[in-house]
């Protein structure tokens, strides 16, 4: 008997809980028909598409001090001197691919990106001034070794020839040196090959002796 007597109260409590939940999350009904090609979804959780587990990103690396960079000058092949930020626009191109799928993106901004599950490259383009030496500083989530290629772009659509190298990052910074810019160059280009990379974008520095 006590159990039967408590049943109406349980039902009343459940009804109140449902009413409360509805009050907290009121149903929204469309007052006009959907756009062409759309229809009401029979699945109330249609927006919850199956997705791969999100990858946890590492903390952003701290900026390198000019003194840290200059201590690496002999290894980088740059002249000892003043390191300054070269303020201008950078353009990124990303291409990633495997045997079944691939993608390509062109963007003027690229930050907080994890590229994994396929091989690919990040291409970085920036404008240059003749007679200056540039250093590309790319921030990473983890240190590693990367195949890198650099060139200068000429006004007629050509280049001054590619230089290939194998570079190791330092404190989550991949420092990519250039030789002094020749007089006929109007742009610099870097290609970073990867199989997996956590990439936070790059900045261009000038090196003044």
CATH number at residue 147: 2.60.120
Distance between CA 4 and CA 186 in Å, rounded?
87
**pLDDT over 90 (residue 70):** no
What domain range includes position 147?
66-208
Residue 73 belongs to a domain: yes
pLDDT averaged over every residue in the chain: 79
Query: What is the tens place of the pLDDT at every residue in 165-200?
Result: 999 999 999 999 999 999 999 999 999 998 888 888
- Give residue 18's pLDDT: 45
The pLDDT tens digits for 103-145 are: 667 777 766 777 777 788 999 999 999 999 999 999 998 899 9
The answer to whether residue 15 sits within a structural domain is: no
Segment (H or E) for 24:
helix 2-24
Q: How far apart are CA 57 and CA 54, in angstroms?
A: 9
Higher pLDDT, 190 or 70: 190
Predicted pLDDT at 47: 55
**What is the residue-wise DSSP string for 35-99?**
PTT----S-TTTT----PPPPPPPPPPPPPPHHHHHHTHHHHT--SSEEEE--S-EEEEEEEE-S
Question: Is 16 domain-assigned?
Answer: no
Secondary structure class of 160 (helix, strand, coil): coil
d(CA 43, CA 50): 14
The position carrying tokens 């240059």 is 128
33, part of any domain:
no
- The total number of structural domains in the chain stands at 1
Q: Is the pLDDT of residue 74 over 80?
A: yes
**Amino acid 140: pLDDT:** 92
32 located within any domain: no
Judge whether 172 lies within some domain.
Answer: yes
Instruction: Classify residue 80: in a domain, yes or no.
Output: yes
pLDDT at 157: 83
In a domain, 147, yes or no: yes
- The answer, yes or no, to whether residue 20 has pLDDT greater than 60, is no
* pLDDT (0 to 100) of residue 166: 93
Predicted TM-score of the model (pTM): 0.71
């Amino acid at each position: 008997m006590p159990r039967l007597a408590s049943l109406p109260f349980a039902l009343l409590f459940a009804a109140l809980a449902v009413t409360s939940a509805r009050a907290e999350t009121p149903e929204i009904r469309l007052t006009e028909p959907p756009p062409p090609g759309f229809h009401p979804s029979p699945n109330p959780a249609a927006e919850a598409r199956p997705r791969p587990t999100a990858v946890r990103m590492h903390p952003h690396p701290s900026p390198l001090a000019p003194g840290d960079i200059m201590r690496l000058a002999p290894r980088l092949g740059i002249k000892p001197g003043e390191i300054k930020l070269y303020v201008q626009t950078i353009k990124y191109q990303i291409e990633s691919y495997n045997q079944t799928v691939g993608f390509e993106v062109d963007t003027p901004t690229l930050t907080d990106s994890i590229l994994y599950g396929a091989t690919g490259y990040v291409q970085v383009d920036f404008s240059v001034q003749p007679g200056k030496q540039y250093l590309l500083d790319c921030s990473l989530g983890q240190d590693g070794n990367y195949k890198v290629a650099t060139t200068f772009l000429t006004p007629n659509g050509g280049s001054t020839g590619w230089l290939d190298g194998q570079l190791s990052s330092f404190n989550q910074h991949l420092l990519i040196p250039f030789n002094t810019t020749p007089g006929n160059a109007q742009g610099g280009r870097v290609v970073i090959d990867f199989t997996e990379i956590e990439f936070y974008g790059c900045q261009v520095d000038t090196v003044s002796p």
